[in-house]
Structure 1
Amino acid sequence: MAYRAHTTQLYALVLGFIGWTLTAMALGLIQWRVWQVSHSDVISSGVAWVGLWRVCFNSHTLVTPAFMFMHCRSMGLTEAFTPPEVAAGQVLMLLSLVVGLCGNAGGVYAVRNIYFGLEKSTPIRLAFFTTGALCLLAAVMSLIPLLWNLSSVVTNQTISFPPEFMMPAAPESQHVGGGVMVGLVGTVLMILSGIIFCRYRSPERTTVRQQVHLDPPVQAEAASCPGKDNPAFESQEHL
């Protein structure tokens, strides 16, 4: 039972690390909101991608250095046109990464202690609970902007980009991009990891001792009835 409990915590640590990695990937992706726009000379493919930090589209006339056939413009936190869900995502997703990193570090510390038998010398229960709380807090921080941007896409919210962005005032249609989906999967994994860590209980160690007992009547009978000599054996000794 102790080995199984330790293995569960190891699985939770792996889930937390994968979830944190997916959250970091979602932060850098530009496919949070995919805009379908009218085909023009500027937007060659008719598709524009709105992320947390950049707005990009393929173009044969406008090319951003380091992006082949792609034009990108950055969105700052203090820009007047930046929608609140994007600004919240820039702040909360970064905080989620920091808190999630601390949670994973705490998970490594706690799992290391139980596998090396140091749970008696350290407050291992408190370490696992703190790790789980940090993982859940990181998941909540990332879940807020993810669901907020998802709601903006469902309700077809527009963004008033400045003229230098070369973006239309409103898209013909828009749908959720892969960045939101990757972030949601990472958030779910972080939630599962946090719940498992918070539910940790120290395994009970029991030792099985086998003792052989003779019934008291049998012991008394063995003591009162000593063994008798075998006459046939004695006659054979005299031959």
Structure 2
Amino acid sequence: MANTGLQVMGLVLGVAGWAFGILVCAAPWWRVSAFVGDELVVSQVLWEGLWMTCLSQWGRLQCKVYDSGLALSSSAQMCRALCVLSLLLCLLALPLCVTGLKCTRCLGDAHETKARLVRVGALLFVAAAFFFFLPVCWTAYVIIRDFHDPNVAAPLKRELGSALYLGWGVTVLILVGGALLYLGSTSPGAPAVPVFGKSAKGNPQSTAESKPEKVFV
């Protein structure tokens, strides 16, 4: 039961991290306009994401998708690619983990094969967390670097958006989920009583032990 509990908990965290990762990747709240220096116009707030930009003015929000992805900077294109790669790895890990769960009957009694599938899926989740962590940290580094750079004009300075903080949370969810899945599939020990009621196949020695021994005098 302990192994099954760890696997189910890890899968739930991995799915939650994958779902929130999609929202973070599509959200425009990665960078927000900063009001520094002598800038007095605070009625307009500009939000920038990986796929679109939004302008909030007097309570009205207008969003626009970028006209061309090739026109973006190499940094933005790299962040796009890494986020998409991370989400694809999670999508690939999900069917492997579901098929290899100890509580499923997809592969019958092939416990070792199922454990290997879960371990492969867990490693994919860990790799996905790493690839999602890179664009979030890189974007935060660029924002902080440009904010303290005196050569960058005040209207071009940005602050950390809420999507970056959610991105760090997504990284933790996916990483912890992958770790629990891996630990749940490598714990030693096999159940003494078969899970699915196949007692005859699970304990072949019982028939031999049940036969009375012949005593010769």
Category of TM-score, reference length = shorter chain: 0.7 to 0.9
Cross-structure match for 1:226:
none
TM-score (norm. length: structure 1): 0.67
Q: 1:22 aligns with which of 8, 20, 23?
A: 20
Q: Distance in 1 between matches of 2:3 and 2:111?
A: 19
Code of the aligned partner of 1:51: G
Say whether residues 1:189 and 2:179 are aligned partners: no
Say whether residues 1:151 and 2:141 are aligned partners: yes
Shift of 1:147: 0.6
Q: Distance in 1 between matches of 2:114 and 2:191?
A: 19
Cross-structure match for 1:57:
55
Shift of 1:206: 6.3
Tell me the number of residue pairs that the alignment of Structure 1 and Structure 2 aligns: 183
Cross-structure match for 2:206:
none
Q: Which has the higher Rg, Structure 1 or Structure 2? A: 1
Q: Distance in 2 between matches of 1:87 and 1:205?
A: 48
- Same amino acid, percent of matched pairs: 22
Cross-structure match for 1:178:
162
Q: 1:78 aligns with which of 70, 78, 91?
A: 70
Q: Secondary structure at the match of 1:31?
A: coil
Q: Distance in 2 between matches of 1:126 and 1:6?
A: 14
Gapped runs of 5+ residues in structure 2?
Answer: 194-217
Q: Distance in 2 between matches of 1:134 and 1:122?
A: 19
Aligned-pair Cα RMSD in Å: 2.7
Shift of 1:58: 2.1
Cross-structure match for 2:189:
204
Gapped runs of 5+ residues in structure 1?
Answer: 61-67, 159-167, 209-239
Code of the aligned partner of 2:189: E
Q: Secondary structure at the match of 1:204?
A: coil
Cross-structure match for 1:104:
94
Q: Distance in 1 between matches of 2:24 and 2:121?
A: 22
Cross-structure match for 1:115:
103
Going from structure 1 to structure 2, the CA distance change for 1:127 and 1:6 (only over 3 Å counts) comes to: same
Q: Distance in 1 between matches of 2:86 and 2:160?
A: 21
Q: 1:11 aligns with which of 1, 9, 12?
A: 9
Shift of 1:176: 0.9
Q: Distance in 1 between matches of 2:18 and 2:190?
A: 34
Shift of 1:201: 1.7
